[in-house]
Structure 1
Amino acid sequence: MNSLNVEMFVVVSWLSYKRMPFIKRRRVSFGVKLFSALLAFGVSTFLTMQTSANTSELQVANLGTCSLESGGQINNCVVTYRVFGERNADASNIVLMPTWVNGSSQALADSNYLGPGGIVDTNKYQVIAIDALGNGSSSSPSNYDQDVFPAISIRDMVTSQYRLVTEHMGLERVHAVVGASMGAYQTYEWLIMYPDFADRFIPIEGTPWTTFYGYLRDQILLATLKLDLEDPKQFEAAKSIVGALKGLVYWTPDYLNREMGDGDFEAAYSALEGSPSLSDLRNALSHREAIATHDIRRDRPDFLNTVKALSGSKVLAVVYEEDMAVNPEPNWDFSSILGFEVIEFPGDCGHFGPNPECYQDQLIPIVDDFLALDFPIMERHALTVNGVEREYFLHTPETRESAPLPLLIALHGWGSTATGFSRIYGLNNHADKNGYAIAYLQGSNFYAPLAWADGLHFVSSWNDEASNLTPTAAGPHCTVDRLPYPCPPDCGSCNHCGWTSCGDDLTFVDDVIKELSQRANIDKERIYLLGNSNGATMAQRYACENSARVAGVVLLISQMPPGHTCGPSKALPMFHYYGGLDDNVGHDGEATSDGWIFSSAADNTRVWAEHVGCQNPPQLWQSDLSDKFGWECSVYRDCGSEKVEVVSCKDPDQHHELGEQRIPWIPANCVTESQAGSLPGQPLCPDNASVRPQSAMDVFWGFISQY
């Protein structure tokens, strides 16, 4: 190694080294695992490519002149591409996939980024894989026959791709743009430049703008690739530095050291160097110059206003915790502005996390879910209860089965809307996957000033026939100096501790169950209740009064006020979840900081257990997911003749929220289109869903659906 190599190697080593915990994976020989990764990304340009059975003919589009950001132009501008999969009748399944740095459209297929069962499944979607300008297939330094190939940017790549699909292919829009690495850079630019051209944008291990760490890496690469490559010595030096740098930033130190062990270092290093040609390195320089200037904010003084006009629901970013080639942090920063989900994978594969030899099998269902995500309009239904019109919204999963569906009655918390509740926990998505219907009921509501906020605010609540009652011998419901809540108009007047509706909500819930049992394809023996906060006390009250109508109950983050705990008249299973740090509804029976008092979680569960005939003291309850979340759970077993269970779980680090389920960027008081007409003063819910597994609901549904 010459002196230039040594100096650069030391600098890069210092910049790159980062000790992190890692997930140990099955040991695979360096020669198999690392080389398969090398063949996948930009390193593949310098190696002999392996091809897969998933191939498609390379097609060529001549766009004439491509005007560039710099003011220059590419004459006889060519963009090449491949098409995989079949287009459906209405052309609604088209996905664009731009290539990564120095990668090719065929390499995307070879690494299963597209294909049958791939990250983008070509059994479902038609994928147009587009070779980015500068990659050696589309117009590039290596194939440009007119003077010097001009400098290009990520935006220039996207502009040429837009011209390809609109001018050459005649498309007016596509379903999605999905890209990995530099392909993700292009995906972010697609979002800013042509936001209405696609329904979904999925940048994988990319960034909306470069960081200082990335800048330093790029400066090393640019300085290296700008050597006099016609000189054989400098060419060899450049090849060595580029190869070493790829090894240092594409994988983590732990990964390389573990996989390499005491193997043949020289052979491994030689593999990283590969056998690039002079043209390969010149193409690499073109892409590295484009990456070095990448920033979706650059030269856009109205950037924030532009972003405000976009919909975060269109975007899902995927990052890898220990990616040293592309710093994932800007994805979170941009997400905080636009409001979209960022999925982060742990593990020490680094920048090769999406590859088959690493975590591709975990990524595939996430991308597949997001591409398939849809928001069917929930059916609005209205009932008249004691002369008052009440509304609920029904979501029924698309299913080919004719068997009656289980039904979940969902009751929102104080200040929420029915359709907002459907969105904040992603419940429809879970229902679709598990084959049950959900009816979201709307509590009584009005607008009023709040003691802790200016102006008029939406207030909604349920009459659990306890919170507004005079305190019993068990103690008061609130302190003298409690934080006051507005008195609902349907109460006329409220006592000092009154704060919930006085409407006939027991009849409302009962009428909804009766109507759906008669008119919908509902399994009358499998009707369940799910209540959140004030909705939980309402669910508990209904189950206590009408236990024959339901098969199980889930109570989230609430208990009855002192002296009003209750249980059903039959052996009914119940699951209670609460936060150990909840200061809205305390779990210990003591007054909260704002002066409100509730029964303890232990007493609320114990009274229920006594009513259903539990004879034994509570025992430890565990499941794989509850252990994963760190919940502390207990169970009363073998209760009543039906041998049901009563479970209570504390999430020690959670406040007044279901953390494993809540989608934080969606307000609970928003409305979907189905409810916008009846509550016109409420904001529309953003279409941001979460493709994270509905983990907490898996626990709850797994428990109650067995009954």
Structure 2
Amino acid sequence: MRFIAGLVWLFTVAAAAEPLLVEKQRFTLDTFTTENGQVITPVNIGWEAYGKLNADKSNVILITHYFSGSSHAAGKYHADDASPGYWDAIIGPGKAIDTNKFYVVSSDTLVNANVFDNKVITTGPATINPATGKPYGLSFPVVTIGDFVEVQKALLDSLGISKLHAVIGPSMGSFQAIEWAVRYPDKVERLIPVIGSAYMDTYSAIKLQRWAYPILQDPTWQGGDYYDKGQPWQGLSTALAYITQDALHPDGFNPRYPAISSDTALHQSISALPQAWQQLMTQAQQRAKKQDANHILYLVRASQLWRAGMGDNWQPALRRVKAKTLFLPASGDLLLPPALSKNSADAMTATGNTPDYAEIPGNFGHLDGVVGIAAVAQQISAFLN
């Protein structure tokens, strides 16, 4: 018996060590009408799924991704991929979001930032407009978090999925998750907004404008009509550098970059750039190769416009939420601080639907909602089960 038990243990460990292999799939809508009444023809997004759909299609969990993320939430495309999806720590067999129990779906958003990544499928300003044969540029309509949700719903409808065991997403993904529960309260049983809130306050919205500003000021942006000459690299890279810094807490940022006190060149020339900034820009320039400046602007605007229900007042919209809810802000988040989650939870409580609340510990600030998510794996697992 001990020998058999040992074999079972070995097989279990071996299975756990095997990477979850996933495949990117394409979903197409022939036409899509945005919230501001404009029509996009067609719309394409990519999506991935992990686990198996049960017979009555009641075991579905939807993952909605963050600002610069994609549908690659877990697993690897090939066994030798350098790294898995961003939430692989909690999605997979036996993990907090257990793919032995749940069918987990994750989709790319419209105007996804990573439009030049060959594993991302998205429609946005860089897409060829079939009416003109040229990229849409700024003729692409302004899109909202609500539009992202409607495209996701169309995807799920095409799969015959009418109810969600849960919707879970970090940062901009939390906006989408909450909007799902507001728009389709009878379809969403559980809701987990991670490092996010039910609204974007003016302070936070203007902070995001700092991400747009370098692009808008780059002369090579040319009013968004740059596709035949190349990206506005300086503006795009600077924007991505700001995004990285804003997502980090000083306790996570400072150890990763050279200290200003040791930067002797700064004592010699006013034009010298801090080594920390140069490193930040070098990393941003690498990321910029797969991203698009206009797409960043559209994601900034979608995030700035966010409020639950997409109406004039987000608090009453939360009355429509029936889902059991767990807010998970990061304790050190300076981008979307815990106060926003607390205000959202309080507003939901005022409607008679009292949510659970816990904070993600760590030193990486906003990024703890991605890289530190394993710290709350137990809470997520208990909530889902």
TM-score range relative to shorter protein: 0.7 to 0.9
- Does residue 114 of the first structure (1) align with residue 106 of the second (2)? no
CA drift at 1:90: 3.0
Taking the aligned partners of 2:347 and 2:231, their CA distance within structure 1 comes to 45
CA drift at 1:250: 1.0
Counterpart position of 1:347: 362
Counterpart position of 1:364: 377
Counterpart position of 1:332: 342
Counterpart position of 1:179: 169
Taking the aligned partners of 2:239 and 2:126, their CA distance within structure 1 comes to 18
Counterpart position of 1:270: 282
8 Å CA contact retained: 2:197, 2:344: no
Counterpart position of 1:83: 49
CA drift at 1:277: 4.0
Counterpart position of 1:241: 238
CA drift at 1:298: 4.0
**Corresponding residue SS for 1:315:** strand
**Worse-matched range after superposition: 131-140 or 142-151:** 142-151
Taking the aligned partners of 1:297 and 1:199, their CA distance within structure 2 comes to 18
Q: Which amino acid aligns with 2:340?
A: P
Taking the aligned partners of 1:280 and 1:332, their CA distance within structure 2 comes to 34
Larger radius of gyration: 1
Taking the aligned partners of 1:367 and 1:254, their CA distance within structure 2 comes to 26
- Does residue 145 of the first structure (1) align with residue 129 of the second (2)? yes
Aligned residue among 217, 222, 242 for 2:207? 217
Taking the aligned partners of 1:297 and 1:67, their CA distance within structure 2 comes to 17
Q: Which amino acid aligns with 1:105?
A: S
Q: Which amino acid aligns with 1:307?
A: L
Taking the aligned partners of 1:130 and 1:186, their CA distance within structure 2 comes to 11
Residues 332-390 of structure 1, C-alpha deviations (whole Å, 9 max, x = no match): 1121122212212343211111334xx33221111111111xxxxxxxxxxxxxxxxxx
CA drift at 1:306: 4.6
8 Å CA contact retained: 1:141, 1:279: no
**Corresponding residue SS for 1:208:** coil
Gaps of 5+ in 1: 1-51, 373-707
CA drift at 1:297: 5.2
Taking the aligned partners of 2:20 and 2:320, their CA distance within structure 1 comes to 39
Taking the aligned partners of 2:332 and 2:151, their CA distance within structure 1 comes to 33
Counterpart position of 1:33: none
CA drift at 1:183: 0.9
Taking the aligned partners of 1:169 and 1:233, their CA distance within structure 2 comes to 38
**Corresponding residue SS for 2:122:** coil
Gaps of 5+ in 2: 1-17, 76-84, 116-120, 131-135, 263-274, 349-353
8 Å CA contact retained: 1:115, 1:122: yes
Structure richer in strand, relative to its length: 1
With over 3 angstroms needed to count, the CA separation of the structure-2 counterparts of 1:100 and 1:275, relative to structure 1, is closer
8 Å CA contact retained: 1:80, 1:131: yes
Q: Which amino acid aligns with 1:239?
A: L
Alignment of 1:137-536 (within 5 A): 137-146=121-130, 147=136, 148-166=139-157, 168-227=158-217, 228-229=220-221, 235-261=232-258, 265=276, 266-277=278-289, 280-296=292-308, 298-300=310-312, 306-311=317-322, 314-338=324-348, 339-356=354-371, 359-372=372-385
Residues 408-446 of structure 1, C-alpha deviations (whole Å, 9 max, x = no match): xxxxxxxxxxxxxxxxxxxxxxxxxxxxxxxxxxxxxxx
8 Å CA contact retained: 1:153, 1:293: yes
Taking the aligned partners of 1:268 and 1:53, their CA distance within structure 2 comes to 31
With over 3 angstroms needed to count, the CA separation of the structure-2 counterparts of 1:194 and 1:79, relative to structure 1, is same
Number of equivalenced pairs: 316
CA drift at 1:75: 0.9
8 Å CA contact retained: 1:119, 1:360: no
Identity rate of aligned residues, in percent?
A: 24
With the length of structure 1 as denominator, give the TM-score of the two structures: 0.42
With over 3 angstroms needed to count, the CA separation of the structure-2 counterparts of 1:108 and 1:184, relative to structure 1, is farther
CA drift at 1:164: 1.3
With over 3 angstroms needed to count, the CA separation of the structure-2 counterparts of 1:84 and 1:150, relative to structure 1, is same
8 Å CA contact retained: 2:360, 2:375: no
Q: Which amino acid aligns with 2:367?
A: F
CA drift at 1:268: 4.5
Q: Which amino acid aligns with 1:193?
A: R
Alignment of 1:548-563 (within 5 A): none
Counterpart position of 2:271: none
CA drift at 1:128: 0.7
**Worse-matched range after superposition: 274-283 or 99-108:** 274-283
CA drift at 1:325: 2.3
Q: Which amino acid aligns with 2:294?
A: R
8 Å CA contact retained: 1:214, 1:327: no
Taking the aligned partners of 1:309 and 1:251, their CA distance within structure 2 comes to 34
Counterpart position of 1:17: none
Counterpart position of 1:574: none
Q: Which amino acid aligns with 2:151?
A: S
**Corresponding residue SS for 1:174:** coil
Higher relative contact order (CA 8 A, sep 6+): 2
With over 3 angstroms needed to count, the CA separation of the structure-2 counterparts of 1:143 and 1:55, relative to structure 1, is farther
Residues 232-262 of structure 1, C-alpha deviations (whole Å, 9 max, x = no match): 8992331342133123211112221123355
